[in-house]
Chains A and B, each alone.
Chain A
């Protein structure tokens, strides 16, 4: 077993201390209780505040547990908040690719569409925010499964949508392995005949995947003659996903 990380142990102790009592605590009280230097304690509190596990009262400056701590294990990010972060990058993605854009997250074993930008050709289209897509047969869903967003796991029985839908759990596992390796997913006529899609992960603090963004359109526009997604479109989708992740604090500048 590798050695433990001291700062994480200390952070856990800070959280336990804050969770133990009903009121907020001052920096000095926390440092004193845990026998830590004030500077060290302040660094830990600042980091925990950054990820939302701790918050600081504006008036007193005292610390308490943050809203993200109470939501731990339920959802990482409010879906409407995810949309407001994604909206500025989804529009340029639609403009660059000429295709419709969707942002999805996991809800009850399916992809929940939280944002939808029309294909920019001014044809009649209907807003599909709130619609559900299958996890195993959509590009968005494959990304969410590959990175276990909100604990997503494949269903025991995989429904068939077209003759290209992946039905064998083993094939799906191999596909998800490929998605993790490549950093993006595709669905080529696996959900709707004649349609193809590309998606990439949206990451929040610490790299946690909280959603996926992607484009979809006619297979002859999205893919080449050998049914492989155009690399240029893949690059646009991944750029947009990285930009949204950056806004969510899920991307270190080196990445």
Chain B
């Protein structure tokens, strides 16, 4: 019998990767290609969707060649993608209409401010379970239709199609299937998260023709067979990248949570088949849906600045030469010396959502060294995690008992220990670091019975490291109060002009 494999396509913000996994969830080969970032104006971020598809076409044979296998040995493909990035293309030619607008892009700022005041905004926010923000795709489609003459009419005639990145890739892989996965759809503000179909009220509100939208499908199960890049291989699953990481960490039960520590950080808590509405500044989102089954939901807390604070410390302050040296510098002292850094560089995300806040360093005295500053940098990531976890516990009524972590910052032992200390729960790193692509592979393999069930996937999860809380409770409370006081000092810094 020939050994079979599962391939993940991880379409991220800076690069695209094709990764081959074996039956035990072990990485066999990786092919990676970065794509160009376009910054045409301040606050604008764009990608060329055609370039991204060309990369997939090139990476697919490369990943198979490195693994020494052919497409016939691939049981299924799974897609994990950057979320909320918005692509429009011509149905007939398949060519993108301009560049894709990336999730970080804030060009819809003015539009969103106006939309908030429009009647019907509350209904849209209720149906989508999302707050009106530049982060999501709906306002972007609206902006694109408004800013290109004749585009809305063509969209109404069904000549123009919309997709998030997985929709674009599936369209190209299959040669014309126009579908979206429900987790990606749940980030558009256009999906009714209860019916799991497009909300007519939202479409009217944003002025988006139904004809341009893809059909909403379950994340795991039904995406047809690829004709290009991986000809003849079944597309088993598609998920937004953070939902894929939750799946890759095998957080299948309510109360299980993971945090991915990168440039920013994303904490997702599985809330089961119950949609939990946050009253503490978190997002409600679809975690995954297996075809024929109910959707699993999640609460999500996004932290804007974590790893990027370390990069700022390295590139702007030039106090360290490489990011890992932050730990070396932080270990030159035993505490923060009373110093706190709140990195509200472009406002604060969850759970505060204060766009007018700006960063502060407080508690400076002549005693403070760069070692104390390095500690304060790492502690900022831990306390921001604590704020999100507190909000999740309050919203869900579930008390987090363990935090599963992944991402580049998990190499920092001092940070991981501090996260365990301030959360007062064990922090666990799994053996498989590539949780986003692994989650896509797991989901795809599950769709084609390559893996039998969720329990079978759990067997593949192994603990690589664990940090247990050791902090004195009184010290934890004192430090948390200090952190909260520091956060308050960031509020109301920028004034409306």
Interface of A toward B, CB cutoff 8 Å: 67, 78-81, 83-84, 87-88, 91-92, 94-96, 116-118, 120-122, 125, 127, 129
When the two chains form their complex, are residues A78 and B328 in contact, meaning their CB atoms are under 8 A apart?
yes
Residues of B303-352 at the interface with A, using a CB-CB cut-off of 8 Å, are: 321-328
Query: Lowest 3 CB-CB distances: which A-B pairs, in order?
Result: A120-B462, A80-B324, A84-B324
User: In the assembly, what is the distance between CA of A87 and CA of B413, in Å?
Assistant: 12
10 contacts between A and B (CB under 8 A): A78-B328, A80-B328, A83-B324, A84-B408, A84-B411, A91-B433, A121-B462, A122-B462, A122-B463, A129-B413
- 13 extra interchain contacts, Cβ-Cβ under 8 A, other than A118-B462, A121-B462, A125-B463? A80-B324, A80-B327, A80-B328, A83-B324, A88-B433, A92-B27, A96-B26, A118-B463, A120-B463, A125-B466, A127-B413, A127-B465, A129-B413
Shortest C-beta distance, B22 to chain A (Å), equals: 10
When the two chains form their complex, are residues A81 and B413 in contact, meaning their CB atoms are under 8 A apart?
no
Interface residue? B450 (CB, 8 A): no
Interface of B toward A, CB cutoff 8 Å: 24, 26-27, 321-328, 408, 411-413, 431-433, 462-467
When the two chains form their complex, are residues A117 and B328 in contact, meaning their CB atoms are under 8 A apart?
no
When the two chains form their complex, are residues A117 and B464 in contact, meaning their CB atoms are under 8 A apart?
yes
Query: Across the interface, which residues of B come within 8 angstroms of A87, CB to CB?
Result: 411, 433
When the two chains form their complex, are residues B325 and A118 in contact, meaning their CB atoms are under 8 A apart?
no
When the two chains form their complex, are residues B322 and A120 in contact, meaning their CB atoms are under 8 A apart?
no
When the two chains form their complex, are residues B324 and A91 in contact, meaning their CB atoms are under 8 A apart?
no
User: In the assembly, what is the distance between CA of A114 and CA of B322, in Å?
Assistant: 17
User: In the assembly, what is the distance between CA of A118 and CA of B322, in Å?
Assistant: 26
**With contact pairs A67-B321, A79-B328, A81-B322 given, residues A127 and B431 touching in the complex (Cβ less than 8 Å):** no
Query: Across the interface, which residues of B come within 8 angstroms of A116, CB to CB?
Result: 465
Shortest C-beta distance, A125 to chain B (Å), equals: 8
Query: Across the interface, which residues of A come within 8 angstroms of B466, CB to CB?
Result: 118, 125, 127
User: In the assembly, what is the distance between CA of A216 and CA of B27, in Å?
Assistant: 22
When the two chains form their complex, are residues A91 and B411 in contact, meaning their CB atoms are under 8 A apart?
no
User: In the assembly, what is the distance between CA of A120 and CA of B323, in Å?
Assistant: 28
Shortest C-beta distance, A49 to chain B (Å), equals: 14
User: In the assembly, what is the distance between CA of A127 and CA of B465, in Å?
Assistant: 6
When the two chains form their complex, are residues B411 and A83 in contact, meaning their CB atoms are under 8 A apart?
yes
User: In the assembly, what is the distance between CA of A84 and CA of B408, in Å?
Assistant: 8
Query: Across the interface, which residues of A come within 8 angstroms of B463, CB to CB?
Result: 118, 120, 122, 125
When the two chains form their complex, are residues B324 and A117 in contact, meaning their CB atoms are under 8 A apart?
no
**With contact pairs A92-B27, A117-B431 given, residues A81 and B325 touching in the complex (Cβ less than 8 Å):** yes
Query: Across the interface, which residues of A come within 8 angstroms of B323, CB to CB?
Result: 84
When the two chains form their complex, are residues B412 and A91 in contact, meaning their CB atoms are under 8 A apart?
no
User: In the assembly, what is the distance between CA of A117 and CA of B432, in Å?
Assistant: 11
When the two chains form their complex, are residues B322 and A78 in contact, meaning their CB atoms are under 8 A apart?
yes
When the two chains form their complex, are residues A78 and B464 in contact, meaning their CB atoms are under 8 A apart?
no
Shortest C-beta distance, B456 to chain A (Å), equals: 15
Query: Across the interface, which residues of B come within 8 angstroms of A122, CB to CB?
Result: 462-463
When the two chains form their complex, are residues B322 and A91 in contact, meaning their CB atoms are under 8 A apart?
no
Query: Across the interface, which residues of A come within 8 angstroms of B324, CB to CB?
Result: 78, 80-81, 83-84
User: In the assembly, what is the distance between CA of A118 and CA of B411, in Å?
Assistant: 14
CB-CB nearest in chain B for A127 = B465
Query: Across the interface, which residues of B come within 8 angstroms of A80, CB to CB?
Result: 324-328, 411-412
Query: Across the interface, which residues of A come within 8 angstroms of B431, CB to CB?
Result: 91, 94-95, 117-118, 120
**With contact pairs A92-B26, A95-B26 given, residues A118 and B412 touching in the complex (Cβ less than 8 Å):** no
When the two chains form their complex, are residues A91 and B327 in contact, meaning their CB atoms are under 8 A apart?
no
CB-CB nearest in chain A for B321 = A67
